[in-house]
Amino acid sequence: MKLALRRDQMFGPVSHRGATRQQLRIGVDDAAKMTALDHVSTAIVDSFDSSFCEPSSLASQGLYDASALHSLIQLVHNDVGIPGPMRAPGEASGSAALECALDEMAEKAGLDPLEFRLKNYAEREPGTGKPYSSKALRECYEQGAERFGWASRPLKPQQMTDENGMLVGWGMGTALFASPMFAAQARAVIRPDGTGLVETAASDMGQGAWTALAQIAADSLGLPIDKVEFRSGHSGLPDGGIAGGSGHTATAGGALHAAGLDAIQRLGEIASADPASPLFGTGNAGVIARDGRLYAAGDESRSEAYGDIIARAGGKEIEGKGSAARDPADGERHAMYSHGAVFAEVKVDPELFQMRVTRMVGAFAAGRIINPKLAESQLMGGMIWGISFALHEEARFDKRTGRIMNADFAGYHIPVNADVKGLEVITVHEDDPYVNALGIKGVGEIGITGAVGAIGNAIWHATGTRVRRFPIRIEDLLAGQ
């Protein structure tokens, strides 16, 4: 069975990002160290279900070192459709407000925005005091700023123009998103011909999950990827867990990894117990799987192909099973996040106040990157959504009925190719021994966090007008003149 929705049904009946109004208060001492951070968010929810609200204030819990930290989410019930978790729920909208507030405070302190953030860099999660499982945010700041050319940014606004007289502004924002992991199962088989089969009921929504999961499975079986058949997308297969929350690769990938190792262990036990095998007696020392062969650990002169081991054992396939889930205790011991830094350049017409994002650089640390090309695409997509959030997207509600009035692409604006220029993504190396067995964090949602605030801050730097609402409109800049 397949459900196909009309375009207008995509805007209300299947949820939307709930609107928020956020208030931030920041206190600093004479050394520009934050003494207090207060983030209160009022979120609109529906009047009949209220199962989800946009948790924007949570964005302030994990990022900056403040002596006193307070966040609060308040609900306002309206007769609107049920809101739901949109990409980077809470952090996308919360970081937009937080990062603009940080820039306003940096201006008051007379500091460069990056310098101010480094002064208030948190070595432990501010909301809990837990150590981070890993945090390469300093490296993200350094690499992103260097690639963007941030060092030449003038401190005051309205100082830069291009050859056509357009106002130029540079802004930045810090990116943060949690690294969840859910429960999943998988099955791995080594066939008599030495090839592999792996199965898990994971979903691929277009982000390339099946490619990355097949890579993980092939690696765990010690086989080239073209020698492994990957089956997924069917409810009759082992449960692949939730495809969402930036945790899908870690979740389904963890189960596939465990299943592959289980199959290799079973194959190694057969070889170790077989007097005819070159691997006889390797039970305690163990074996290493590579390119369709098992090698004795510490003595790679002793090896045998998978197919040969199976043939002497009766020719039956070897099956392994695996599951993956995070131990709740791990989450209690460490704060687990992906981090990043986004730098944006905007150009603004000084007479018409039309705005264009002309360049963006995002540097992200997200643990072990399985497929760099896919990760880059995901991060770039998030940054484009940041452009859309900052300058384009806005649902307009009919106050009489609560229905969305612009439920089509004629009235609901999103970026086209002409709106997206000069996007660059940097993935920063990061090893995380705690987040999961593979060291994988998510990249699906962190790209949008930080990007919205970076664009808002760049518009202020270009025009000297601070706009505290999104999307930013021409009339907002006109009102500030």
Q: Tell me: the pLDDT tens digits for 15-71?
A: 899 999 999 999 999 999 999 999 999 999 999 887 899 999 999 999 999 999 999
One-letter identity of residue 125: E
Q: What is the pLDDT of residue 166?
A: 98
Domain final position from 258, 290, 325: 325
Percent of the residues in the chain that have a pLDDT greater than 90, as a whole number: 87
Give the integer Cα–Cα distance in Å for 167 and 75.
Answer: 39
Same domain, yes or no: 230 and 285:
yes
Backbone angles phi, psi at 156, to 5 degrees: -90, 155
* CA angle (209 as vertex; 8, 89 as ends), nearest 5: 50
The answer to whether position 62 is within a domain reads no
Q: Which of 342, 393, 395 is nearest to 100 (CA)?
A: 342
CATH of the domain at 418: 3.30.365.10
Q: Tell me: the pLDDT tens digits for 88-134?
A: 999 999 999 999 999 999 999 999 999 999 999 999 999 999 999 99
Orientation angle between helical segments 372-391 and 451-463, nearest 10 degrees: 50
Q: Which of 319, 393, 445, 475 is catalytic?
A: 445
Same domain, yes or no: 321 and 374:
no
Same domain, yes or no: 145 and 225:
no
Which of 6-10, 90-94, 379-383 shows the lowest mean pLDDT across its residues?
6-10
Same domain, yes or no: 143 and 112:
yes
Same domain, yes or no: 299 and 359:
no
312 or 284, greater pLDDT: 312
Q: What is the pLDDT of residue 207?
A: 84
Same domain, yes or no: 143 and 238:
no
The position carrying tokens 């009102």 is 479
Q: Tell me: the pLDDT tens digits for 345-363?
A: 999 999 999 999 999 999 9
Show the beta-strand stretches assigned E in 349-459.
Answer: 355-365, 423-427
Domain final position from 265, 298, 325: 325
Same domain, yes or no: 284 and 373:
no
Domain final position from 294, 325, 356: 325
The answer to whether position 2 is within a domain reads no
The arithmetic mean of pLDDT across residues 4-11, rounded, is 89
Q: What share of the chain is helix, strand, coil (3-state, %, to 5)?
A: 30, 25, 45
Q: Which residues partner with 230 through β-bridges?
A: 198
Helix (H) or strand (E) holding 272: helix 248-272
The answer to whether position 12 is within a domain reads no
The answer to whether position 430 is within a domain reads yes
User: Which residues have CB under 8 Å from 408's CB, separation 6+?
Assistant: 7, 8
Which of 150-154, 285-289, 422-426 shows the lowest mean pLDDT across its residues?
285-289
For all residues of the chain together, what is the average pLDDT?
Answer: 95
**C-beta separation of 442 from 254 below 8 A:** no
Domain that holds residue 386: 94-180+331-479
413 or 49, greater pLDDT: 413
Show the beta-strand stretches assigned E in 333-415.
Answer: 337-348, 355-365
User: Which whole-number Å values give the CA distances from 478 to 101, 339, 350, 464, 466, in the listed order?
Assistant: 21, 35, 10, 12, 11
Same domain, yes or no: 235 and 265:
yes
Q: What is the pLDDT of residue 328?
A: 87
User: Which residues have CB under 8 Å from 245's CB, separation 6+?
Assistant: 178, 180, 182, 442, 445
Q: Are strands 355-365 and 167-178 parallel, antiparallel or unpaired?
A: unpaired
Cα 466 to its chain centre, rounded Å, is 28
Active site residue 229: no
Give the integer Cα–Cα distance in Å for 54 and 94.
Answer: 9
The answer to whether position 72 is within a domain reads no
Full strand arrangement of the beta sheet holding 355-365: 160-161, 167-178, 337-348, 355-365, 423-427
Same domain, yes or no: 346 and 447:
yes
Same domain, yes or no: 119 and 258:
no
Same domain, yes or no: 194 and 137:
no
Indicate the pLDDT class of residue 164, thresholds 50, 70 and 90: very high
Same domain, yes or no: 206 and 247:
yes
Q: Tell me: the pLDDT tens digits for 274-307?
A: 999 999 999 888 999 999 999 999 999 999 999 9
Give the integer Cα–Cα distance in Å for 384 and 279.
Answer: 53
Residue 176 has pLDDT above 90, yes or no: yes
The answer to whether position 386 is within a domain reads yes
Residue 319 has pLDDT above 90, yes or no: yes
The answer to whether position 47 is within a domain reads no
The answer to whether position 34 is within a domain reads no
Indicate the pLDDT class of residue 3, thresholds 50, 70 and 90: confident
Residue 1 has pLDDT above 80, yes or no: no
Q: How many domains, in total, are found in the chain?
A: 2
Q: What is the pLDDT of residue 347?
A: 98
Q: What is the pLDDT of residue 285?
A: 84
Neighbours of 422 (CB within 10 A): 11
The arithmetic mean of pLDDT across residues 5-10, rounded, is 90
